[in-house]
Amino acid sequence: MPELPEVEVVRAGLAPAVIGSLITAVSVFDERALTRHAAGPSDFAARLEGRRVTAADRRGKFLWLPLDTADSALIAHLGMSGQMLLRAPDAEAERHERIRISIEHPRHGELAIVFADQRTFGSLAVDGLVPDGPTWIPTQVVHIARDPIDPLFDDDRFLRALRTRGSAIKRVLLDQQTISGVGNIYADEALWAARIHPATLASALSTQASRRLLAEIRVVLVKALAEGGTSFDSQYVNVNGQAGYFAHSLNAYGRGGQPCPRCGILIRREAFMNRSSHYCPRCQRRR
């Protein structure tokens, strides 16, 4: 599933092409791409056509384009394989194309925003905006915590939350109500960098270890952003269809049975919440 870096790469790619653009037409080819928009395709199109996009925002794995109505936005969750692509207005349909939104930008001219999704777990919707501190967010995002590269992320609040959680630290990192944008890949990478076993209870971490972990989370996310995110196949791409290359920088995730880059012991892979955890049994001993 796309995590914070992959979604931020998409948001940053969309921003210059869509901010200030007028939505001229909306075509829905598969209603499964509107699971988050209960009112259906006709209402979805009616609430978008004739509106102008004013910004491109993100929190965790959600991204949204606020509209000039001031109280609504086009919101996207990419699910497991969703893609937001920028295409020429007359471009041929993409494989697995579900929705096409035609726009006209005052500088870039006519473009198409294509939502393609092989597994159909992603969705678009038009959602209302509500205040959240100095910002406005869609109602579908109010339960999502800020992410660690958000300037308004509260470090102390996060550290206090860890002290009260009796769950494994990796499980806590995947809880989007505690910290958003950190998925399986970047949790494994940050825990490896911080030398913390994924099954360590969050409440058992010292303040020093917790701060070290938060710092490593930020380092991993920023580096992944700089490298365009992590792409293991053609599903995770930017708005131009290009894959990120952070997969070549992974130290733990996906390296089960391979030597730890730090100590040489084989990375261990274990089942975890219908997924897998990857860690070094020497560097990340469970205390």
> Which residues are known to be catalytic?
2-3, 61, 275
Tokens in use for 98?
């579900």
Cα–Cα distance measured from residue 195 to residue 281, given in angstroms and rounded to the nearest whole number: 10
Cα–Cα distance measured from residue 162 to residue 24, given in angstroms and rounded to the nearest whole number: 47
Helices 207-226 and 155-163 sit at what angle, rounded to 10 degrees?
A: 130
Cα–Cα distance measured from residue 280 to residue 287, given in angstroms and rounded to the nearest whole number: 14
Q: Residue 75: beta bridge partners?
A: 64, 125
The answer to whether 284 and 198 have CB atoms below 8 angstroms apart is: yes
